[in-house]
């Protein structure tokens, strides 16, 4: 970045036995982008990151000669589809191990999202509400000292509802579109999707005791 606003030969700047990568081109990896511990959706960029947590976006590491701001830092990590090749480089590693990257195909339409939001939040007699009530009644007075985990929580109503009685309620789902809806509602307290309006205040829910995570429960690592 200090010399030319263009990519350079990788062996131009040598330091000992190593060559400079930072400030040249983005470094492509075969690692799917994933949220780090403590990840939160920024209110200004609601849809910037979570759509890439689908295992179809690989991580590229900063920063290229064309980068600005934090993208120019060597620890910058961003996600792009695998066909993206602008200002990109590769670091080759020879290994006898066969590299396997699990791909996850996720096709969740607006219709699916709308249907689940209505089922979870607009029908208080739904299976979702009955499930939360049954669990709460079963645990009884012990709930106030108990942490509870909901696997496959979809758009988040069950863990949110369980937070009324339990010490801490944790929800896990693998689907990016559903995770977007639940985390947006938790962080803002309100959610509007098409003709659906949801308010945690109106539902009597305090999201402070709720944690939501996107992960594959069959492979939590």
Q: Which two three-digit tokens encode residue 82?
A: 């695998």
CB atoms < 10 A from the CB of 105, how many?
Answer: 7
Same-domain pairing of 18 and 76: yes
Tell me which residue of 176, 156, 183 sits closest to 105, measured CA to CA.
Answer: 176
Same-domain pairing of 72 and 19: yes
Same-domain pairing of 80 and 145: no
Same-domain pairing of 201 and 116: yes
Residue 76 domain-assigned (yes or no): yes
Give the domain extent around 130.
110-214
Same-domain pairing of 117 and 178: yes
Residue 84 domain-assigned (yes or no): yes
Same-domain pairing of 121 and 191: yes
Same-domain pairing of 137 and 204: yes
Residue 3 domain-assigned (yes or no): no
- Mean per-residue pLDDT, 202-206: 91
Predicted confidence (pLDDT) per residue in 109-142, tens digit: 677 888 889 889 987 667 888 889 999 999 999 9
Q: Domain tally for the chain? A: 2
**Phi/psi at 88 (5° precision):** -115, 150
| DSSP-assigned letters across all residues of the chain | --S-SS---TTSSEETTEE--TTT-EEEEEEEP-PPTT----TT-TTSSGGGTTSSEEEEES--TT--GGGGSTT-EEEEETT--TTEEE-----SSPP----------HHHHHHHHHHHHS-TTSHHHHHHHHHHHHHGGGGGG-EEEEES-TTSHHHHHHTTTSSEEEEEE--HHHHHHHHHHHHHSEEEETTEEEEHHHHT--GGGEEEEE--TTS--
This prediction's pTM: 0.54
Q: What is the CATH number of the domain that holds 188?
A: 3.40.50.150
Predicted confidence (pLDDT) per residue in 144-170, tens digit: 999 999 998 999 999 999 999 999 999
Predicted confidence (pLDDT) per residue in 45-85, tens digit: 766 777 777 667 888 877 677 777 777 777 788 888 776 66
Pairing mode, strands 210-214 and 168-173: parallel
pLDDT at 204 over 50: yes
Better-scored residue on pLDDT, 23 or 150: 150
């Amino acid at each position: 970045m200090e010399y030319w606003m263009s990519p350079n030969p990788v062996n131009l700047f040598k330091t000992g036995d190593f060559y400079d990568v930072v400030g040249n081109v983005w470094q492509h990896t075969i690692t799917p982008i994933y949220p780090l511990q403590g990840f939160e959706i920024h209110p200004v960029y609601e849809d910037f990151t979570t759509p890439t947590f689908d295992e179809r976006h690989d991580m590229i590491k900063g920063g290229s000669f064309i980068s600005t701001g934090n993208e120019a830092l060597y620890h910058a990590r961003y996600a792009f589809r695998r066909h993206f090749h602008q200002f990109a480089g590769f670091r080759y590693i020879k290994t006898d191990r066969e590299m396997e990257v699990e791909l996850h195909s996720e096709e969740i339409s607006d219709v699916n999202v709308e249907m689940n939001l209505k089922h979870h939040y607009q029908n208080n007699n739904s299976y979702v509400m009955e499930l939360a009530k049954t669990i709460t009644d079963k645990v009884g007075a012990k709930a106030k000292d108990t942490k509870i985990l909901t696997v496959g929580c979809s758009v988040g109503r069950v863990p949110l509802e369980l937070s009324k009685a339990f010490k801490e309620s944790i929800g896990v789902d693998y689907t990016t579109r559903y995770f977007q809806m639940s985390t947006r509602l938790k962080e803002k307290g309100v959610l509007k999707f098409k003709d659906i309006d949801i308010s945690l205040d109106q539902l009597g829910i305090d999201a402070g005791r709720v944690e939501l995570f996107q992960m594959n429960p069959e492979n939590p690592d």
